[in-house]
Amino acid sequence: MTQTSSDGGSSKLWGGRFSGETDALVDQFNASIDFDRRLYREDIAGSIAHATMLARQGVIPEADRDAIVAGLQQIEAEIDAGAFVFRLDREDIHLNIEAVLIERIGDAGRRLHTGRSRNDQVATDTRLFVRAACDETAGLLRLLRRALIDLAEREAGTVIPGYTHLQRAQPILLAHHLLAYEAMFTRDTERFVQARARANVLPLGAGALAGVTYPIDREFVAKQLGFEAISTNSLDAVSDRDFIVDYHSAAALTAVHLSRLAEEVILWTSAEFGFARMDDRYSTGSSIMPQKKNPDVAELARGKSARVIGNLVQALTMLKGQPLAYNKDNQEDKESLFDSVDTILITLRVVTAMMPTMTFDAARGRTAAIANFALATDVADYLAKKGVPFREAHEAVGSLVARCEREGRTFEDLTLEDYRQAHAAFDADVLAIDLEASLAARDVPGGTAPNRVAEAREAARARLATEA
Query: Under the rule (CB under 6 A), what is the footprint of ligand ARG?
Result: 32, 36, 92, 118-119, 122, 326, 328, 330-331
Nearer to ligand ARG by C-beta: 326 or 419?
326
10, 165, 248, 283: which is the annotated catalytic residue?
Answer: 165
CA distances from 346 to 106, 142, 228, 278, 339 (A): 43, 14, 29, 19, 11
Nearer to ligand ARG by C-beta: 11 or 284?
11
Please list, residue by residue across 418-443, b when 16 or more beta carbons sit within 10 angstroms of its beta carbon and e when fewer do. bbeebbebbeeebeebebeebbebbe
In the complex, least distance from residue 335 CB atom to ligand ARG, rounded to whole angstroms: 10
Quote the CA–CA distance of 251 and 341 in Å, as a whole number. Answer: 8
113, 286, 287, 438: which is the annotated catalytic residue?
Answer: 286
CA trace torsion 80, 82, 88, 91 (10° rounding): 0
CB atoms closer than 10 angstroms to residue 274: 14
Nearer to ligand ARG by C-beta: 23 or 429?
23
Quote the CA–CA distance of 409 and 167 in Å, as a whole number. Answer: 19
Give residues with Cβ within 8 angstroms of 391, minimum separation 6: none
Nearer to ligand ARG by C-beta: 337 or 453?
337
CB atoms closer than 10 angstroms to residue 220: 14
* Of 125, 326, 116, 131, the residue nearest 236 (C-alpha): 326
In the complex, least distance from residue 118 CB atom to ligand ARG, rounded to whole angstroms: 4
In the complex, least distance from residue 456 CB atom to ligand ARG, rounded to whole angstroms: 46
Nearer to ligand ARG by C-beta: 314 or 352?
314
Residue 165 annotated in active site? yes
CB atoms closer than 10 angstroms to residue 188: 25
In the complex, least distance from residue 179 CB atom to ligand ARG, rounded to whole angstroms: 42
Contact assessment for residue 196 and residue 135, using Cβ atoms and an 8 Å cutoff: yes
Angle (CA) 374-379-382 rounded to 5° is 145
Nearer to ligand ARG by C-beta: 28 or 451?
28
Angle (CA) 179-184-185 rounded to 5° is 90
CA distances from 223 to 8, 35, 202, 230, 269 (A): 43, 28, 9, 10, 51
Residue 286 annotated in active site? yes
Nearer to ligand ARG by C-beta: 315 or 396?
315
Q: What is the DSSP string of 453-468?
A: HHHHHHHHHHHHHH--
In the complex, least distance from residue 371 CB atom to ligand ARG, rounded to whole angstroms: 58
In the complex, least distance from residue 167 CB atom to ligand ARG, rounded to whole angstroms: 51
* Of 450, 457, 411, the residue nearest 431 (C-alpha): 411
Residues with a catalytic annotation lie at: 165, 286
